Amino acid sequence: SSWYDRARDYWEKKDATVSGMLDGYDAVSAVDLEASLCFLDKVKTLPAYKGGSCRFNYALDCGAGIGRVTKGCLLHRFQQVDMVEPMERFCRSAPDFVASERLKDIFQQPLQEFSPSKKYDCIWLQWCILYLTDADLIDLLKRCSAALTDGGVICVKENIGELGFEIDKQDNSIMRTDKHYKQLFRQAGMRLLLDMRQPNFPKSLFPVNMYCLRPLDANPAGQPENAETT
C-alpha cells in the first residue's frame, strides 16, 4: 500500500469539525490563530521583491481541512483565499463552515499531486507537510514557489521534534527537527526570511514553529541574506 494510505485512513475517521481538525485539541485553536495573525503582520513588514511591501491579496490554504485557518486567520489578512484539501468530506463542509464569498476555489487533491496556478501572494502550509516524504515535500515547495506572485511568500507552520526524526505509525506523520526543515527548504531553493516559535501552547503538545520562505532568486536588491528570528 502507498505511504499516504495510512494518513488518508486516519483522516477518514475524523469529524468535519474544528475538534476533528485538531484531534480534540480545539482549545488551542484561538491561541494558534492569534499567533498566525501576528506572524503574518510581521511578514507584511518584510521588504518585498523589487521594493514596496508584500501584497496581501490572494492566499492559498494547503491541507486546509474544513477551513479553520482560512476562516480564523487568512480571510482576516487577505482579500481572497483558495483552499486545497485531499478529503472530499472536508471540502464539502468548508463553504458552510467558512461562510464567506471571499473563499473562492476549493481543490480536492492530495498535496503531493497538487500544482497551484501562479497567482498567490501567500501559500500557507500548516500541519500538513508532516505527512509528506522529504522528496515530495521538496517537490511541493518547488511547485508552490512557481505559483507565487513577485514578492509572494510561503508560510509553513509545523510541529517540531527536539530529538530527531520520528514517524508516528498511527498516521505516518513525520516529526522533523528545525534543522531538518531548514535543510529541506534550502534543497527546494527557498530562502528563510522569518522564523518564529508558537507561544502559549500547552506543555503536553509538541513545539510548533512558523517559517516564512521566499524563492532564492527573489531577493530584493541589497537585502541581507540572514533571517530574522524571534
Asked if the structure places residue 225 within a domain, the reply is no
pLDDT of residue 46: 85
Burial call 92-106: b when 16+ CB within 10 Å, e when fewer: ebbeebbeeeebeeb
For 161-210, give the DSSP string: -SSS-EEETTTTEEE--HHHHHHHHHHTTEEEEEEEEPPS--TTSPPEEE
Residue 223 placed within a domain: no
- Tell me, yes or no, whether 230 lies in a domain: no
Q: Is 198 annotated as a binding residue?
A: no
pLDDT > 80? residue 54 = no
pLDDT of residue 228: 61
Q: State the amino acid at position 11 in one-letter form.
A: W
Query: Strand 80-84 and strand 58-62: pairing?
Result: parallel
Please enumerate in sequence order all residues whose Cβ is within 8 A of that of 149, keeping only pairs 6 or more positions apart, or say none. 55, 58, 118, 119, 120, 121
Residue 153 has pLDDT above 70, yes or no: yes
90-127: per-residue pLDDT in tens? 999 999 999 999 999 999 999 999 999 999 999 999 99
High-pLDDT (> 70) share of the chain, %: 92
* pTM exceeds 0.85: yes
In a domain, 104, yes or no: yes
Q: Domain containing 60: what range?
A: 5-208
Longest dimension (CA), the chain: 50
Q: Cβ(166)–Cβ(220) under 8 Å?
A: no
Q: Is residue 142 part of a domain?
A: yes
Note the pLDDT of residue 221. Answer: 47
**Does residue 221 sit within a domain?**
no
* Count: domains in the chain: 1
Q: What is the pLDDT of residue 47?
A: 78
Is 126 one of the annotated binding-site residues? yes
| Grid-cell match 500544482, residue found | 115
What CATH number should be reported for the domain holding residue 187? 3.40.50.150
User: What is the distance, to the nearest Å, from the Cα of residue 184 to the centroid of all Cα atoms in its chain?
Assistant: 15
Has residue 49 got a pLDDT over 60?
Answer: no
State yes or no: 68 annotated in a binding site: yes
In a domain, 228, yes or no: no
Is 227 a domain residue? Answer: no
pLDDT at 130 (0 to 100)? 98
